Amino acid sequence: MAEVNATRGIDGLLDFIDACPTPFHVVDRAADVLRASGFTEMDEADEWPDAVGSRYVRRGGSLVAWRHQTSDAGFRIIGAHTDSPNLRITAQPDTGQAGYRQLGVEVYGGALLNSWLDRDLGVAGRVATPAGTRLFCINRPVLRVPQLAIHLDREVNQKGLLLNPQTHIVPVWGLGLRTPGEFALTAAEAAGVDADEVLAWDAMLHDLTPSVIGGIDDEFVYAPRIDNQVSCWAGLQALIDAPADSPPSAVLCLFDHEEVGSTSAQGAASTLLPAVLERIAGSRGALHPALAQSLCVSADGAHATHPNYPERHEPDHHIAMGDGPVIKRNANQRYATDAVGEAAFAAACEKAGVGHQLYVHRGDMPCGSTIGPFAASTTGVTTIDVGVAQLSMHSAREMCGAQDPMDFALALSAFLNAAG
């Protein structure tokens, strides 16, 4: 069993999350880690005479990496997603009202809007220039969404907070009159390019509070984007630790756009994974027998039982932090796991020396989903939905157990190392 190096332990996870305010930064960071571990980048626009060895390819906010040996033993695949719900800068963002300069935003995915109020916010993303895209990140509190004072909303604690996504969450970033072009100028400066080179952007807000270990016995992680950067990080550790010279071939795919349904040019419903697997296999003729022997893990956050709302959970599927990876089942295939997959991943957990838990959503509430059903249906591979137990899912700041990410990495490592 591969040991996950202590220097890549929980502090490594906190660093990873703080360095990755956007899907583009996740892909950039993952590429850095992979290159440092001997992986070589491939370009989708090139012919690939062969894809044997340790390689990776990027497509926007998505990345696929693999360790492939010439064998007919199929693939062990780990999928996760790089995006998290947040507020995204509009195409013509410079706006303002009542003496404030503000930036227009759109809600991305199922964000808990209240969690974005009264936070010190930075902005990051990528700009498109004539020479290609450039990343930028402003880690200064340039933006804030001020909550309405209770004196102006006397019933908020009795009736609940209602937020209109068009009018109530427009962040302020200065005083004075709206200044057309100001956001483009700011993004250009942060990206290190001239203002007239910025043609467009994909930009989003992030909370500046650093990720920390919390709890009286240091048993928790408090951080943004735990869903799903914990899985990206754990999958990356597992791939790096996967054997380079014994089958099956290990594959890691990090997909953008899960939070908005995965149907995009680089989401889990796209051609990305099947196209790359075909190119790794060498031909369509070699792909299909390989797929028939493959297994896939869809790694994504799981709901821990909430101590203040135990009635929101299925009473016979209690989920605790610190009790190991959570295998998710749903009869209606919102999660892809079946009995065969569940048994395979439970065996990987046992081999890794970590426990596992079984999650089922309450029958009287609609269940969320993951990339699992998309990975399963685009490849035909038995897929297991599994992840780390967490609270506050889709908040700007979430929490999980401090031991669980490492245990998850060990279980994923055992899953990839099928022959070990």
CB of 370 to Zn ion, least distance (A): 6
Stretch that binds Zn ion, among 71-79, 174-182, 222-230, 331-339 (CB under 5 A): 222-230
Rg over CA atoms, the chain: 22
For Zn ion, the closer CB: 231 or 249:
231
CB of 358 to Zn ion, least distance (A): 18
Q: Which of 75, 82, 69 has its CA nearest to residue 379?
A: 75
Axis-axis angle for helices 339-352, 404-416 (nearest 10) = 110
Minimum Å distance from CB 319 to Zn ion?
15
Q: What minimum distance in Å lies between the beta carbon of 231 and Zn ion?
A: 8
**Contact letters for Zn ion, residues 301-340 (x by CB under 5 A):** x---------------------------------------
CB of 272 to Zn ion, least distance (A): 18
Q: What are phi and psi of 131, to 5 degrees?
A: -95, 5
Taking CB under 5 A as the binding criterion, the range among 100-108, 194-202, 205-213, 297-305 that sits at the site for Zn ion is 297-305
Q: Considering the complex, what minimum distance in angstroms separates the CB of residue 176 from Zn ion?
A: 39
Sole residue written with tokens 């031991």: 403
Q: Is 228 in the site for Zn ion (CB under 5 A)?
A: yes
Residue 147, helix vs strand vs coil: coil
- Contact pick of 300, 323, 385, 407 for Zn ion (by CB under 5 A): 300
Nearer to Zn ion, 202 or 227 (CB): 227
Q: Which is nearer to Zn ion, 191 or 336 (CB)?
A: 336
User: Of 47-55, 143-151, 227-235, 261-269, which part binds Zn ion (CB under 5 A)?
Assistant: 227-235
Cβ of residue 301: shortest distance to Zn ion, in angstroms?
Answer: 5
- Regarding 398 and contact with Zn ion (CB under 5 A), the answer is no
Structure tokens of 96? 């303002």
Total residue length of the chain: 420
Nearer to Zn ion, 55 or 206 (CB): 206
Please state, in angstroms and rounded to a whole number, the distance separating the CA atoms of residues 267 and 339.
26
Q: Near Zn ion by CB under 5 A, which window of 63-71, 182-190, 220-228, 311-319?
A: 220-228
How many residues touch Zn ion (CB under 5 A)? 4
List Cα–Cα distances, 253 to 224, 276, 312, 347, in angstroms: 21, 10, 32, 22
Residue whose pair of structure tokens reads 């669980």 in the numeric block: 404
Q: Which is nearer to Zn ion, 227 or 256 (CB)?
A: 227
Q: How many CB atoms lie within 10 A of CB 262?
A: 23
Rounded CA-CA distance 267/255 in Å is 5
Q: How far is the CB of 81 from Zn ion (least distance, A)?
A: 6
Which is closer to Zn ion, CB of 2 or CB of 411?
411
Contact (Cβ atoms closer than 8 angstroms) between residue 238 and residue 416: yes
In a 3-state reduction of DSSP, which class is residue 29? helix
**Could you give the C-alpha distances from 107 to 87, 89, 164, 224, 330, in angstroms and in order?**
5, 9, 11, 16, 28
Distance from C-alpha of 182 to C-alpha of 178, rounded to nearest angstrom: 9
Give every CB contact of residue 413 below 8 A, 6+ residues apart in sequence: 1, 2, 4, 237, 238, 241, 242, 352
Residue from 18, 28, 202, 227 binding Zn ion (CB under 5 A): 227
Q: Which stretch binds Zn ion (CB under 5 A): 178-186, 213-221, 292-300, 377-385?
A: 292-300
Nearer to Zn ion, 184 or 269 (CB): 269
Report the residue number, 228 or 413, with the smaller CB distance to Zn ion: 228
C-alpha span between 40 and 31 (Å, rounded): 9
Q: In the complex with Zn ion, which residue's Cβ is closer, 110 or 310? A: 110
DSSP 144: B
Whether 231 contacts 299, CB under 8 Å: yes
Nearer to Zn ion, 79 or 104 (CB): 79
Q: How far is the CB of 262 from Zn ion (least distance, A)?
A: 11
Residues that bind Zn ion (CB under 5 A): 227-228, 300-301
